[in-house]
A and B are shown apart, each in its own frame.
Chain A
Amino acid sequence: MNNVRLILIGLLIPSLLMIPYSIISFYTDFANKNPEPAQVTVSFQGKVYNAIEGKRAFEQYQCMGCHSIVGNGAYFGPDLTNVYKRMKGNDAALAAYLLSGVPAKGMPPMREREMGEEDAYRTVAFLKYAQMLDTNGWPNNGSWDRDGNIDGVQAKQISPSGIWQIILGIVFINVLIFIVIMEYERGKEEKHD
């Protein structure tokens, strides 16, 4: 078969399949029962904020730079998909948590990042929407993210015993790597002779 034709077939068949797959994912009865972001709202001082504004605030303050949402993002902080549940659905508590942060665990006070109360409530609306998503059961039952308790553990410092354990691991792995490299380089020299 002609090479270019083979490549084109490889490109076209799956690309065309992605069209019905994408349609099924969003526009049919097969699609998961997800909430409409415009209808998920929280109110603060008489004003109502919906999850669309919330998504924009979530992006603007770069929450995904430390946390993950539906498991995507950074792993420096905990996953936020179910954080609204962990806060027992308390809008005011979650907004206050965002604004004051937890410096001892590495979360900056978002107030210092110029997040106002309005934006905090917008973000809360988004997080309320996030925990309503039908994520095919993720995260699993029995996991801490799912069962919804506030994380009371404080950040610790690395312990001396931990350092010694890890030094052992580092030495072992690096000796292995070094042996492989030396064998590779020696094998090549022998081939030249």
Chain B
Amino acid sequence: MIEYPSIARTGKYFVTAILLFIFQMILGLIMSFDFVLRGTSNTPVPFDILKSLHLNVMVLWLLLGFIGGLYFLLPKEVGRDIKYPVLIDFQFWFLLLIGTGIIISELFFTGKNWWLVEGREYVEAGRFWDILLTLGLLSVVYNVGITIHERKRHMSSPMLVLAAGAVGSILMYIPGEIWFNSIIAAEYFRWWVVHYWVEATFELIAAGAIALILLSITDVRREIIEKYLAIEVALVLITGIIGQGHHYYWIGTPGFWLFVGGLFSALEPVPLFLMAWSAYKDLKENKKPMQNKVALYMIIGATLGNLLGAGVWGFIHTLPQINFFTHGTQITASHAHFATPGTYLFLVLGFAYIAIPALSDRTNFFQLRGKIGFWILVIGFLNMIIALLLAGIIQVQLQRISGMSFMEVQNILLPFYGWRTIGGVIALMGGLVVTYDIIMIGRKKIV
């Protein structure tokens, strides 16, 4: 059944990614209680540790999901098996070991050892883990690179984009590890990691993967999909690379960034719109019956989440005139909780719903459960996003414009934080349904 034996090793990547996602949601849910019950309850784990775990666990499962997706899709495209199949297993356990190390360090060594926990948002993992993680990821680059180099078939551009995105994500982890004395330079390069992940390299992975998946499930002509992909990717890079400037408005960098960053980041929604529109057009023209409806749901969710969460929600506060007031408020939290799960969660789930039925030979699996899980996730996240957006608007008006104090505004926002917690509970239930579904589809056959 499976043409290339090494892809059988990728199943554990997806299952672990989804389990870690559940863990991330539980962490987020506990933190949301910290907002609602501020000061009254002593949660056993302090907020900052939960927050750093919330982000680092996400980085870990995104990397696992993307690496798994890459290893799963690559052999078919290059016409040969992965060069070193053993490395797939080894890298998985290595990443998991580092992940466990990061979690234990966060829990027990925060504030005690700078080499174990660094405490900078998104790259909290300490220097020691940074170096190990980079080495592990570079071995992925090597394995993928040598497989592509010794390919037996002309490689299609979606695969090239996907591989470039994965390799780029791994390389972009490095700028965040350089030590700077000045907070300005440190923030400047910390955003290279975060922004170039979500607005450039992860976006390439998303564009390439969506194109590949559309190619495999529809009968739309290959040239059309590839042409659109090239335009999308070129636009993502042109707008995203300089669109970095929207992080440089208020960190102590010169004022020309207000113009440059504002201009290019205002254009960032254009490729995302093109991506959603071309996917819509392809699916409408398609006449081939589609079996795997759940994977299709996830891919449509990823394109729409990308367009709305990253594009629209990003655009509403990206112009410097607006960002002057919205910077550092719950508006940003709303944007982050829309763009990241909206795009990358559904993308990883899309990978999982394509890979796991294929690996466990259950391609005609029962689809209703996955669809229900998808919709519960959507409802949960939308509640969270809307609650945070309303909270952000109120916070901007009261704290930034009327000049009320931080704590006074936080007291007013309490009901919205309660709403956000309810959204989180719903999303967690959706996540559990999807996890159960994936484990049931893959039971006894994978890992």
Contacts and interface: CB of A to CB of B under 8 A. Distances in A.
Given A61-B119, A64-B120, A75 B183 contact: no
A155 B407 contact: yes
A59 B383 contact: no
B182 interface: yes
Interface string B410-430: 110011101100100000000
B121 interface: yes
Interface size class, chain A? 35 or more
A63 B51 CA distance: 11
B213 interface: no
Interface string A145-157: 1010101111111
B263 interface: no
A108 interface: yes
Given A37-B183, A72-B187, A181-B375, A114 B230 contact: no
Contact of A136 (B236, B249, B407, B414): B249
A77 B410 CA distance: 9
Given A56-B114, A158-B414, A105 B254 contact: no
Interface residues of B, number: 98
A25 B160 contact: no
Nearest to A1: B230
B248 interface: yes
Main SS of the interface on chain B?
Answer: helix
Contacts of A56: 114
Interface string B379-391: 1001100100010
B414 A162 contact: yes
Contact of B254 (A31, A68, A129, A181): A31
A182 B358 CA distance: 30
Contact of A153 (B49, B157, B329, B405): B405
A174 B379 contact: yes
Given A105-B407, A140-B400, A166-B419, A156 B414 contact: yes
Interface in B203-244: 226-227, 229-231, 233-238, 240-242, 244
Interface string B242-272: 1011011111111111101000000000000
B138 interface: no
B95 interface: no
Nearest to B264: A14
B48 A114 contact: no
A145 B329 CA distance: 12
Nearest to B157: A3
Contacts of B419: 166, 169-170
A10 B49 contact: no
Given A25-B188, A139-B400, A166-B416, A10 B234 contact: yes
A88 B315 CA distance: 37
Contacts of B404: 144
Given A140-B325, A158-B36, A162-B414, A70 B252 contact: yes
Contact of B242 (A18, A31, A115): A18
A134 B252 contact: yes
B38 interface: yes
B305 to A, nearest CB: 14
Contact of A37 (B181, B248, B330): B181
A32 B254 contact: yes
Contacts of B47: 65-66, 74, 76, 106
